[in-house]
């Protein structure tokens, strides 16, 4: 039988946490283990977790005797490290899972996978009362999981819609550095070292409210857009360096993709032009105009304060 670990990191989540756990208890697939870590809550989150743990032996509160804040990326990594499973699901404290989420995503993979693999689905955004804001947040023209060169321009993975296998989890645990958010890092590892796949269905009600750590937002103003673009560019450069150093066995093709992306920040206009013409980086969620804008920014270097 396929084994499943659900990884749930909490922080002051008492308002919505019970509703999320109930949606996991209502899953049609029953063979899961829910691992929960509290990242230093000051509200009643820990008591809610203890209450559910006492009622269902599939729920495990992994740090109930040592509640401390280590940050969301390290917190999820601690959960992944806690015990082995065939597949891992990331879980946010404030969403709601549809009853067939685990069953359908497992059916998509047809069991175990030998390569490092991450699968993610679409999302339905809802307000704090679960009223639908948008049925789907992916490109209405048809989103596909990006290949590595395009993931470098725009990470597309949202944690609460993710499932990944043990091989990818093992790669993640080899990473010593904490660079950016955990979900986009997992997507980057999958695109670099294995496979990244998208299911064109929504199995999660992705709640948007004032306490979200990361939400579905739209930047406004050219300064904010440039700041976001180059901030993400620096994160992806740091990740590219780290993967090249940590995983020397990466394929020659992907090694070249990463090295030439890094090169963009260290060569002149002509050098950048040659790389961009060769790769023609594409936004997987934004269409042709976004892709053109992203490539022009890479070419012009406007707003880039440099990658250290």
Tell me the pLDDT of the chain averaged across its residues.
92
Residue 214 pLDDT greater than 90, yes or no: no
Residue 219 pLDDT greater than 90, yes or no: no
Using alpha carbons only, what angle is made at residue 190 by residues 189 and 196, rounded to the nearest 5 degrees? 150
Distance CA 140, CA 134 (A): 11
Residue 53 pLDDT greater than 90, yes or no: yes
pLDDT of residue 308: 43
Question: What separation, in Å, do the N-terminal and C-terminal C-alpha atoms of the chain show?
Answer: 47
pLDDT one-digit tens code per residue, 150-201: 999 999 999 999 999 999 999 999 998 899 999 999 999 999 999 999 999 9
pLDDT of residue 305: 79
Residue 112 pLDDT greater than 50, yes or no: yes
pLDDT one-digit tens code per residue, 86-107: 999 999 999 999 999 999 999 9
- Contact (Cβ atoms closer than 8 angstroms) between residue 125 and residue 215: no
Residue 223 pLDDT greater than 60, yes or no: yes
How much is the pTM?
0.92
The structure tokens listed for 97 are 């899972």
| Rounded percentage of the chain residues whose pLDDT exceeds 90 | 82
C-alpha distances in Å from residue 248, one per residue of 155, 168, 184, 193, 255: 23, 16, 21, 11, 9
- Lowest-confidence range among 109-118, 189-198, 260-269? 109-118
The structure tokens listed for 20 are 């999320």
Residue 61 pLDDT greater than 50, yes or no: yes
pLDDT of residue 212: 59
**Domains of the chain with bracketed CATH:** 4-207 (3.90.550.10), 222-300 (no CATH)
| Rounded percentage of the chain residues whose pLDDT exceeds 70 | 94
- Lowest-confidence range among 81-90, 136-145, 176-185? 136-145
Using alpha carbons, select from 66, 75, 89, 71 the residue that is nearest to residue 20. 89
| Rg value, the chain, Cα | 20
Residue that wins the pLDDT comparison between 213 and 227: 227
DSSP state letter for 159: G
Residue 256 pLDDT greater than 80, yes or no: yes
Residue 221 pLDDT greater than 60, yes or no: yes
pLDDT of residue 306: 63
Residue 28 pLDDT greater than 90, yes or no: yes
pLDDT of residue 134: 92
Residue 19 pLDDT greater than 60, yes or no: yes
The neighbouring-strand residues paired with 199 are 121
């Amino acid at each position: 039988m396929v084994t499943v670990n659900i990884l749930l990191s909490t922080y002051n989540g008492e308002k919505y946490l019970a509703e999320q756990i109930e949606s996991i208890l209502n899953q049609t697939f029953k063979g899961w283990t829910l691992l929960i870590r509290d990242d230093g809550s000051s509200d009643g989150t820990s008591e809610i977790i203890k209450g559910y743990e006492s009622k269902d032996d599939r729920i495990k509160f992994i740090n109930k005797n040592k509640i401390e804040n280590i940050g969301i990326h390290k917190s999820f990594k601690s959960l992944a490290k806690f015990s082995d499973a065939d597949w891992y699901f990331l879980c946010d404290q404030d969403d709601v899972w549809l009853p067939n989420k685990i069953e359908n995503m497992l059916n998509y993979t047809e069991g175990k996978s030998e390569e490092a693999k991450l699968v993610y689905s679409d999302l339905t955004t809802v307000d704090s009362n679960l009223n639908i804001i948008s049925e789907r947040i992916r490109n209405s023209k048809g989103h596909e999981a990006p290949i590595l060169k395009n993931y470098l321009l725009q990470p597309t993975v949202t944690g609460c819609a993710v499932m990944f296998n043990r091989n990818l989890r093992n790669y993640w645990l080899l990473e010593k550095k904490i660079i950016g958010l955990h979900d986009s890092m997992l997507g980057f590892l999958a695109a670099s070292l294995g496979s990244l796949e998208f299911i064109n269905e929504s199995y999660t009600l992705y709640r948007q409210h004032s306490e979200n750590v990361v939400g579905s937002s739209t930047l406004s103003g050219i300064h904010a857009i440039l700041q976001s673009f180059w901030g993400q560019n620096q994160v992806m450069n740091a990740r590219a360096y780290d993967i090249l150093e940590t995983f020397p066995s990466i394929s020659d093709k992907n090694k070249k993709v990463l090295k030439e992306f890094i090169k963009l920040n260290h060569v002149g206009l002509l050098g950048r032009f040659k790389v961009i013409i060769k790769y023609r980086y594409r936004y997987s969620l934004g269409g042709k105009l976004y892709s053109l804008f992203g490539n022009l920014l890479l070419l012009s270097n406007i707003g880039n304060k440099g990658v250290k």
